[in-house]
Every structure is written in structure tokens, then in C-alpha cells.
Homo-oligomer: A and B are copies of this chain.
């Protein structure tokens, strides 16, 4: 296994042996490369900044749900370290080609494609791919490189170097609907002059675990656990839209720019309605975003004429572009989701961004036309579009808005901070910014007690987990006692669960240290002031976890 170092300034690709004695993959590999080769103080879009692609440490194997791909760099939104992971088949394929990770350095002015195949990797001119939105760009790339390739690409928002831009990855059907969405890594990729990475794994091989039999046993145990997991069937049949009703019920569904925690029209955007529309229009449930997925929570959403509109209309998108904007029209939400996928824009950040325009008198809740017109502005690169495409914190600054739903520059996701208090501790303290996947805490959501401990444990587990390349929905079913045996058998190691958690702690420590060196001190581990002050109906919760509990997160 080796690491590809791509120097965009020299237009060279070098293969290096992966570092010895380290178990690196996914988030851990992102961190390792950024710390070993990067400089925390450089501008995220500087020539000295790094762009990282890192399959998880179980990628390329038969481990269930193991194909998440980590994308990493210094975030243009937070100014800190950033890892965002995504489904698709790219991680498996890279791993099967013997690639542990890709580190992209330098920059060039003429857009390039990195073509990776069994024979090696080369940079080629991107040519007429540039300027296309993501779906047509992928079509054209397949015309050029063949139908079977998988594609990692930055979209028009990234090309514009907008801070809220994603890295898209094609799903098993070739659609660029899976996104390493949060933190603006699309702009980091684009700042290198790298438009896309195209992977053809012809001749690639499934990775052979060092202890083959033990691996099979461990993978089967994990598979069985996932199959019978508490959320698996619901996710398979409803998709993540299933959380609309539950978050709404507990007062955690962001509504009208985080002014409410439940949406009176939630029945127009919940899983029941979603299912009805999907079925009526010939869409479908039960897709896998990863090859070999068991949960298969992905969905295909067609428009009123039965034509494909978007894949995987996720809970976070429904919450942030739906209820948070007072919009109860799933078609409109799906259109915006598709547009975001085309441009390479994170829907969570965008929902926060359009939401606060209400404070500036520039958006009325429920105004679908206006919301869609703002996406048009981003596409056209108008001054307004550039503001909005730069994320919620910049938009707030430009319009002098002080009620900013963000931590460290990253917009708050669709589990309301005030009524999901454990989760909110994670938003406040994660080195990644306000990230709903950095350490979810669903229990005792209205209680202020014990949330520091819960968030700490969850963040440590998620840090380790994000290195594995396993899907988050594995985590709901398969605890570390099922994960560690797979790692051990693959790599021929003898990690205890304790070792695995220590690995997670190291990840968090490194990330915090990177942020510190980048100028982000512990004082930035705070939710915005208004969540402490403003009760959130209907629970009327405020964020009241004791400050010492929030500050205790890194006591490990």
C-alpha cells in the first residue's frame, strides 16, 4: 500500500510507501498528512495548503459498510483542520489499487484531472469539463474515461473558490450525489487546480487480510449485527427522512431560522409524505451509496413527471432547506438539493445561510422562489451569490447579523442545539466545528446533566470510527467490540477496545493541536451567545450545560 503525492506545481505524481508502524486511514490519515506535511498557519487556498483523499482503514475489504472516503484539508470555513467523509465506490477502488491515500500539494493554473488506474496515475488537462455542473461533468468524464470509472470532483462552487463548496463523489449509479460536503473542501481541491480524480480499478484486487479466517468471522459478526440493528430496517425503508418526525417531536427540528424547534407543517416533509411521493413517481428506496451496503438508506426522488430529480434527499437537507426556511414543499427541497449537488454546495450550510437572511429582511419563511433565486445567484457568481456561497458566518458579517447559527464558522446542523444538548456540546467543542457526525448524543436531550461526558465519549468513538471508513449507520448497530476484530484481522494486530479508543483520543488531540497552531484557541469552543439566552419553542429549552462540562471535553 502506498501514498500518492501529487505535486500540482510540477504536475508530477509520486508513489511513496505508507508510513511504517502506523495504522492510518480516513480521518486519522487526513490528520497525519496535514500535521506531518502541512503548515497550520497557511491560507486554506494557498499553494502551500494540502488537499487529502483518504479511504478508511477497512477500505477495499469485504467489511460491511466500509467504503467511506475521507476528504481533508484546512477548512476555508473554520480555518481549522477538516475531515469530511462520503460514500460512493471511490474509497474501495483506491484501496484495491493499493492506494492508502492521496496528498495533493502546490497548484497549477490550468485545470487538471488526476487519472488513476492500476498502471499508475497521471495528470491530464481537464479541458471542457471546467465550468460544467457536476452531473454533466460526470457524463462527460465517462465519455472520456469509460463508463466504469468513479469520480471525485469539485463543482462550480469550488471552481469559484467559495468557502461553502463540496467535493462530490459518484454513487454506484455514477451520479455525483454523494458529497464530502462540510467545511469547504471543494475550494481547497479547486485551489490546487485539480478539477477531478477519475478512478479506473480494472486490475485492482480485494485487499487480503493478514488473518483471513479471523477477518471473515469478524466481518460476518458485524454484518449480522448491522442486519438486525435497531435502525437498519427503518433506514432501509424510509431513508434518513425518518428523523423528521422524531426531531420534530422532541423539539429539535430547526424551523424558521432556528426560531422554533418544531414545524407545524412537518407532515408535508416527513417520511410518510416522502414515501408517498417517492412511490407515486416511480422513485425508489433501498439504494446503497456504497457497493455492498447492507443498510441501503439511499433513495431516488423523481419529479412530478416521474423524471429523476435527486438521489438521497437526506434528513439534514430536509431540515435545513425545508423547515429551517419554513418550506414544506418536498419538491422544492429536492430541486434545491439537486442544484446543490450540481454546484457542489453543502445543504446544511446553505440552509443556515438563507435562513439568517430573514434577519436582514431579505427572506420570508416559506418563500420557495426566493430561496431558489439565491441558489441561482450563487451559480451566476453575482456579488450576492458570492456572499451566500461563502457560508453563514460571512453572510452574517456582510449583513451585520449578530444572531449567527455557527460554531467556528461552520453552520449548526439539523438537530437543534438547545433541545439536543449533548449534541450541542459536540457542536461547541469538536475541532471540526458544528458537525452532527462528530459525536452525536441523542439521549436525555433536554437534560443539562452529564452531556459533557456523553459528548466526550461520543467524540472519541466517532474520531476512531471516522478512521475506519465504516458508515455512520454501522455505528448505530455495531459497537467497537465488533469493529476492533476486523481491524486486528486485516492488519494482523492485537488492539484491545481500549487501544481503539486511545486511537480516537489521539485523533482528537492532534486535531485540537492543529487548530491551536492555526490560531483557534479553546475559547472558540463555544456555542453562539443567543442559544444561551433565547428559549426554543415548543420545549423552550436554552443551552444550559454548565460551562465546566463543556470545557471538560478534552480532559482525557
Contacts and interface: CB of A to CB of B under 8 A. Distances in A.
Interface string A29-46: 000000000011111111
Interface string A513-524: 001111111111
A163 B44 contact: no
Nearest to A399: B386
Interface stretch (A15-23, A135-143, A264-272, A526-534): A526-534
Interface string A392-422: 0010011111111000100000000000000
A44 B402 contact: yes
A523 B42 CA distance: 11
**Chain B CB within 10 Å — which of A384, A397, A519 has the most?**
A397
Interface in A81-113: none
Contact of A45 (B191, B390, B402, B525): B402
Given A398-B387, A398-B394, A404 B43 contact: yes
A89 to B, nearest CB: 30
A162 to B, nearest CB: 7
A402 B401 CA distance: 25
> How many identical subunits does the complex contain?
2
A156 interface: no
Given A45-B402, A529-B48, A523 B387 contact: no
B518 A520 contact: no
Contacts of A402: 43-47, 49, 191
A300 interface: no
A445 interface: no
Nearest to A404: B43
Contact of A42 (B44, B160, B529): B529
A485 B352 CA distance: 56
Contacts of A189: none
A161 interface: yes
A525 B382 CA distance: 34
Given A516-B521, A523-B519, A390 B397 contact: yes
A135 to B, nearest CB: 23
A47 B401 CA distance: 12
B529 A43 contact: yes
A397 B383 CA distance: 12
Contact of A520 (B162, B400, B401, B519): B519
B48 A400 contact: no
Contacts of A524: 518-521
A177 interface: no
A160 B361 CA distance: 13
Contacts of A404: 43
Contacts of A507: none
Counting from the closest, the 6 A-B pairs by CB-CB distance are A161-B400, A519-B524, A521-B521, A45-B402, A383-B383, A383-B384
6 contacts: A163-B400, A191-B402, A383-B387, A386-B387, A390-B394, A394-B398
